[in-house]
Amino acid sequence: MDSDLSTIQSSMQSTHASQGTGSLSPKSALPFSQPGHSRKKRDSEQAYSQDLFSGPFPVSQTTVHKQAEELIVTNGQNLDLSQSQKMFNQSSSNRFFLLGLSFVPYLEVLGFLAFLGMYLITLIANLLLIIMVRINPKLQTPMYFFLSNLSVTDIGLSTTVVPKILKNTLFKDTSVSLLECAIQMHFHLAFGAIECLILAIMAYDRFAAICKPLHYNTIMSKKMCISMATASWIASFINSMIHVIYTFQMSFCHSHHVNHFFCEVPAFLQISCSDTWLHEVAMYISAGAFASLSFFLTLISYMHILPTILKINSSDGRYKALSTCASHIIVVTLYYGTIMLLYLRPHSQSSPDIDNAISILYSAVTPMLNPIIYSVRNKDVKGTIRKNLFKNVLQSRLCLQTS
């Protein structure tokens, strides 16, 4: 019995030595175990692990699940990043970036103070002119009715531009949304066209007053004045709406950085990747209809006015007639000249720096100068301002003395 037991143990040790293992395995000790088969299976599992994870060691089931979870999370993060990138691109595609006044700090301060001063003068001077026309019965004439319309237009034209320039100078963020840009462009174009038409109507008013004095009240009746002013406002806003809708139907795939201080059609034509030929033709037609036609109507009016003035025998009469037209001629030359230079020049010959300077000239400088020019050269307006200012100062002193 003992000899049989020793024989079995010696056979088990020899089997274990032939397999090359360092310790006794329970499976290898069983009579029905197949060492060769288990070794082949183990080698195939290792090879599969090497192919799957590029490693020389077998990977456990826990490791496989863990790596699968990490892969899912990573893919989810990549998906979120791609979605957020698309959202960012969509949000940035709806915004445009305007120019600031300067990158040099002291120039920014000077520019800010200059534009702030011009805007305050524009508001105060035009509002003062409107108030003087309203409170003085002598100024309730067609000429001053259209002059009040011109002052309202100047306030609107300056307000659509200058506050945005001041904001972009104070803050680093110069971006503007598509809706905000469209609104600014719409009102800026509308007020610019209204000013063109009002200046032409004022020239016609001077023609009727000097060349047709006996029929002046009939020609420039109150109903006629209101009708011409209303038609000017309606036509200008309709024309502006058409241009804005057509402008923002173009594609801006190259850049959303507008080389301008505010939203204006010529600057957007430069960054558009669409074919702008049709839009340029429409812009020339519109500028021709409003600016050029108004200018030629003004020119025709003065071609009849000047010979009539020269026929006046009295030097005082000639001087008075010329003085009523001089202010209007200065404003017309300054405004029509800048408008036609900007909108009637070929797009290929445009220069961004020159266009920006011209836009600032007729959008910020001209609205400031108009009431000053009309007030300085108009005795009725100057007399009304002096009288009312003197009266207010005197009343304030009396109130202080009685209190």
pLDDT tens profile 8-53: 445 444 444 444 444 344 344 433 344 444 454 445 444 444 444 4
Eight-state DSSP code of residue 177: E
Q: What is the model's pLDDT at position 32?
A: 39
154 falls in which pLDDT band (50, 70, 90)? very high
CA distances from 319 to 221, 308, 314, 375, 382 (A): 26, 13, 9, 17, 18
Least confident of 32-36, 129-133, 279-283, 389-393: 32-36
The answer to whether residues 347 and 283 touch, using CB atoms and an 8 Å cutoff, is no
Position 91 scores a pLDDT of: 43
- Cα dist. 339→33, 41, 91, 269, 359 in Å? 101, 89, 34, 17, 8
The answer to whether 338 and 366 have CB atoms below 8 angstroms apart is yes
The Cα 297–Cα 327 span in angstroms is: 17
Q: Could you tell me which residue, 260 or 236, shows the higher pLDDT?
A: 236
Query: Any idea which residue has 């990138």 for tokens?
Result: 85
**DSSP 3-state assignment of 46?**
helix
Q: Tens of pLDDT along 267-317? A: 787 777 777 788 778 877 877 778 778 888 999 999 999 999 888 888 888
Pick the residue with more confidence: 207 or 102? 207
* Separation CA 159–CA 189 (nearest Å): 13
Quote the Cα angle for 300-301-305, to 5°: 120
pLDDT at 283: 77
Report d(CA 147, CA 139) in Å as an integer. 10
